[in-house]
């Protein structure tokens, strides 16, 4: 089920092909069964079987839900080919990148009117803060529904903290506590870094990651909104946040940016490091570790300064534009949110559902497995009122990424002074955004 967290770059790239071939809309025509509501996922066979079982309880007259079986490794390719063939199922797994790209091209169904009705047992006022708002590509355009959400934080090994004389972090710890911990953990049990990082989409010391720190200290959000930004802005707090991460990076306290990868996850799972930045889904992997017991480690959220600021990364489902029976599809999607996901997450607690009433089985499963701190941290982050998106979602995002992958990385690595390099970088960013408008 870890494929929930992969960015569908291939699927987003397919939109460019759609424009080139002149596709103006899509219809759902994958199944020949007129009573079938079809969908497909990027899940593995075990998780797909769990969804099959969960959807067996769906009933809407003659309608039933039918999953189209495709290998998870071929998801991007299949989504692309079926989009071009105009044979997408009634709903399919997608993320914000895909929803934004396909929605702006008029290829997806707009569920905004259905969301206002609170029908089929789905009360759309009960999604976790900002998770549903993030799916409105523009006012009145809801091209999908959030299903699961990623949270990000710090996995800690209790024996390392004890040896370094560090208290176990909680949901109320601050950034100074984190930075102090990072410095004290370097060298403990021979660990070369105080903080190891996985290659997560949020990027702890990316612009968005640094913005968590700067907004927490009273600064402004880099982008106003989630998927409809027309410019990005910086302030002194963001510059100071960049300086802080740069000082830790250049002093060797943090794993270098060019080394952050899955090896960091393996190092933590085997007990070879005391602190790892990563996503909550790793808890399932660590619970299965033969080197650590559940009581040996914990999970802490992003730190707090004057207010709680946490990452936002909701995954979801989308539908093609020309649905034959949107009422039936909405009922099936609502069933997924309210009934199917809780059943699946009770067995595989990899991520919290965005729909709050469905979250109980996920948290109870974690607690039963011994991951109490993970449950507490995830719930805390999901309930945070102020959230920062983990990536930019806009037509210009890849081009801006080309800029930040050089200029921001140089700043973090101490190759360019933050005080002057940040303003220069944002000038280049906003020039690029102006040349690649959202509308």
Q: What percent of the chain has a predicted confidence (pLDDT) above 90?
A: 72
Predicted confidence at residue 31, as pLDDT, reads 59
Angle between helices 9-21 and 75-84 (to 10 degrees): 20
Strands (E), 115-151: 136-138, 141-142, 145-149
Query: Is pLDDT larger for residue 33 or for residue 129?
Result: 129
Mean pLDDT computed over 388-395 = 90
Confidence of residue 138 (pLDDT cuts 50, 70, 90): confident
- What's the DSSP call for residue 71? -
Q: Provide the CATH number for the domain formed by 2-148+314-358 in this structure.
A: 3.40.190.10
Predicted confidence at residue 11, as pLDDT, reads 47
Predicted confidence at residue 252, as pLDDT, reads 94
What is the spatial distance between Cα 159 and Cα 297, in angstroms, rounded to a whole number? 8
Q: CB 138: neighbour CB atoms within 10 A?
A: 15
Predicted confidence at residue 307, as pLDDT, reads 77
What is the spatial distance between Cα 18 and Cα 25, in angstroms, rounded to a whole number? 10
Q: CB 72: neighbour CB atoms within 10 A?
A: 19
Token readout for 1 is 């089920």
| 69 exposure class (CB count in 10 Å sphere: 0-12, 13-18, 19+) | exposed
- What's the DSSP call for residue 385? S
Residue 20 has pLDDT above 70, yes or no: no
Run of H or E including 162: helix 158-164
Q: Which residue, among 90, 106, 109, 91, has the nearest Cα to 24 in the 3D structure?
A: 106
What is the spatial distance between Cα 2 and Cα 106, in angstroms, rounded to a whole number? 29
Predicted confidence at residue 224, as pLDDT, reads 83
Query: Is pLDDT larger for residue 9 or for residue 64?
Result: 64
| Domain ranges for the chain | 2-148+314-358, 152-311+390-435
What does the mean pLDDT of the chain come to? 89
Residue 230 exposure: Cα atoms within 13 Å on the Cβ side: 3
Confidence of residue 222 (pLDDT cuts 50, 70, 90): very high
What is the spatial distance between Cα 217 and Cα 212, in angstroms, rounded to a whole number? 9
Q: CB 274: neighbour CB atoms within 10 A?
A: 30
For 161-198, write each residue's pLDDT tens digit: 999 999 999 988 999 999 999 999 999 999 999 999 98
| 62 exposure class (CB count in 10 Å sphere: 0-12, 13-18, 19+) | exposed
Domains 2-148+314-358 and 152-311+390-435 share a fold: yes
Mean pLDDT computed over 357-366 = 97
What is the spatial distance between Cα 138 and Cα 136, in angstroms, rounded to a whole number? 5
- What's the DSSP call for residue 371? -
Quote the CATH superfamily of domain 152-311+390-435: Periplasmic binding protein-like II (3.40.190.10)
Pairing mode, strands 297-301 and 152-157: antiparallel
Residue 9 has pLDDT above 80, yes or no: no
Q: How far, in Å, are 48, 125, 175, 227, 389 from residue 149 at the CA level?
A: 19, 16, 23, 16, 11
- What's the DSSP call for residue 338? I
Residue 44 has pLDDT above 70, yes or no: yes
Confidence of residue 1 (pLDDT cuts 50, 70, 90): low
Confidence of residue 30 (pLDDT cuts 50, 70, 90): low
What is the spatial distance between Cα 439 and Cα 420, in angstroms, rounded to a whole number? 31
Question: Which residue is associated with the tokens 């960015």?
Answer: 7
What is the spatial distance between Cα 405 and Cα 327, in angstroms, rounded to a whole number? 44
Q: Report how far Cα 63 is from the mean position of its chain's Cα atoms.
A: 32
Residues 7 and 95: beta-carbon distance below 8 Å: yes
Confidence of residue 202 (pLDDT cuts 50, 70, 90): low
Find the Cα–Cα–Cα–Cα dihedral 415, 416, 418, 422, rounded to 10°: -130
Residue 114 has pLDDT above 80, yes or no: yes
Q: Report how far Cα 385 is from the mean position of its chain's Cα atoms.
A: 17
Predicted confidence at residue 18, as pLDDT, reads 45
């Amino acid at each position: 089920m870890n494929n929930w967290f992969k960015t569908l770059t291939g699927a987003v790239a397919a939109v460019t092909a759609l424009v080139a071939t002149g596709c103006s809309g899509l219809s759902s025509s994958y199944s020949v069964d007129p009573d079938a509501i079809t969908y497909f996922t990027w899940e593995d066979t075990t998780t797909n079987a769990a969804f099959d079982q969960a959807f067996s309880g769906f009933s809407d007259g003659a309608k039933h839900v039918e999953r189209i079986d495709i290998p998870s490794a071929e998801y991007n390719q299949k989504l692309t080919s079926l989009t071009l063939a105009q044979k997408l199922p009634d709903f399919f797994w997608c993320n914000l990148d895909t929803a934004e790209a396909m929605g702006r091209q008029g290829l997806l169904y707009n569920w905004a009117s259905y969301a206002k009705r609170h029908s089929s047992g789905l009360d759309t006022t009960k999604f976790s803060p900002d998770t549903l708002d993030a799916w409105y590509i523009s006012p009145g355009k809801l091209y999908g529904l959030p299903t699961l959400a990623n949270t990000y934080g710090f996995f800690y090994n209790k024996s390392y903290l004890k040896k370094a004389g560090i208290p176990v972090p909680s949901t109320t710890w601050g950034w100074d506590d984190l930075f102090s911990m990072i410095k004290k953990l370097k060298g403990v049990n021979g660990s070369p870094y105080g903080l190891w990082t996985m290659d997560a989409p949020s990027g702890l010391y990316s612009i968005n990651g640094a913005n968590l720190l700067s907004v927490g200290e009273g600064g402004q959000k880099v982008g106003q909104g989630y998927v409809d930004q027309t410019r990005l802005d910086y302030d002194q707090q963001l510059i100071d946040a960049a300086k802080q991460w740069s000082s830790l990076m250049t002093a060797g306290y943090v794993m270098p940016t060019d080394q952050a990868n899955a090896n960091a996850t393996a190092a933590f799972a085997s007990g070879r490091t005391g602190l790892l930045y990563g996503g909550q889904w790793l808890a399932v992997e660590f619970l299965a570790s033969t080197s650590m017991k559940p009581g040996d480690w914990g999970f802490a959220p992003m730190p707090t300064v004057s207010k709680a600021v946490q990452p936002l990364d909701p995954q979801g489902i989308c539908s093609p534009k020309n649905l034959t029976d949107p009422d039936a599809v909405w009922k099936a999607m609502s069933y997924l949110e309210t009934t199917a996901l809780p059943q699946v997450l009770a067995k595989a607690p990899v991520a919290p559902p965005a729909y709050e009433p469905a979250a109980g089985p996920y948290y109870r499963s974690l607690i039963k497995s011994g991951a109490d701190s993970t449950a507490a941290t995830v719930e805390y982050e999901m309930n945070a009122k102020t959230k920062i998106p983990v990536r930019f979602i806009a037509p210009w995002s890849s081009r801006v990424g080309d800029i930040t992958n050089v200029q921001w990385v140089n700043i973090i690595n101490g190759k360019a002074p933050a005080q002057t390099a940040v303003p220069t970088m944002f000038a280049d960013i906003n020039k690029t955004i102006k040349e690649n408008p959202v509308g």
